[in-house]
Structure 1
Amino acid sequence: MTQGNNLTLRPIHTGTLRKNIFVGYGIGLVVISYFILSARTPVPTAWGTFWMIQPLVITPLAGAAGGAYYYFTRHFLYQDGWKKTTGMVLSVIGFIIAIWMGIVLGLHGTMWN
């Protein structure tokens, strides 16, 4: 009796991965730009006049991580029935959590104390 190896490695398509990362980066940049441009009186404590640098770096990077998460969970989208719905919900919730954490980490100490 021989054991079969059912493990298969899925290839990483770097073009699609880059596209998802750049889309996530762009969404993060747009979201944090909206928050920064709508700030009337920011509270820059330790950053001084360059308080915008931290949110403009951290949040798009978190969006890029969310885009990568979406890429790695997208194989659920090619399934049938409830697996497809679960995969879509998990990927969108994961991306939203990544953007939310990026906003919190980016604005901590700059606009929020």
Structure 2
Amino acid sequence: MTQNQSLSTTSFISAALGRRMLIGAVIAFILIALFVSSVDNPNPAWPRLWVLKPLIIVPIAGAMGGAFYHIMDHLRRQMGFNKFITLIISIIGSIIALWLGSVLGLNGTLWN
């Protein structure tokens, strides 16, 4: 008699991951677009298309923040962490990712 064991694995890459990354990227894009659009007189020493760098890099960092949120949610369900603590860590991690992306995207222009 053979014992039949079925291993159930859950995929880390899912629609929820893509949705959370998209939400993070959209939030980051809106925030950086509002910030960059408030510049009336850019420094003439900056490159002509200086706006493109933050508009590309910051949404990527926002998507990474959304991925971090998804990882923490995935861990919470698997390990049984406290929901409130996991939520706070997820939000702080997403804000740190957004801040680091803003520093990297605005480096050499508004972040001097």
TM-score range, shorter chain: 0.7 to 0.9
* 2:51 corresponds to 1:52: yes
User: Aligned-residue CA RMSD in angstroms?
Assistant: 2.1
Pick closer, same or farther for the CA change 1:96–1:66 going to 2, 3 Å: same
Deviations 1:3-52, CA, capped at 9 Å, x for gaps = xxxxx8542242111101110110110010011111122235352x1010
Equivalent residue pairs, number: 104
Pick closer, same or farther for the CA change 1:100–1:44 going to 2, 3 Å: farther
- Where do residues 1-113 of structure 1 align in structure 2 (5 Å cutoff)? 10-43=10-43, 45-47=45-47, 49-75=48-74, 78=77, 83-113=82-112
**Counterpart amino acid of 2:20?**
N
State percent identity of aligned pairs: 37
User: What's the offset of the Cα at 1:53?
Assistant: 0.8
Structure 1 length-normalised TM: 0.80
Taking the aligned partners of 2:55 and 2:28, their CA distance within structure 1 comes to 9
Q: Which runs of 5 or more structure 2 residues have no equivalent in the other structure?
A: 1-7
Q: Which runs of 5 or more structure 1 residues have no equivalent in the other structure?
A: 1-7
Structure 2 length-normalised TM: 0.81
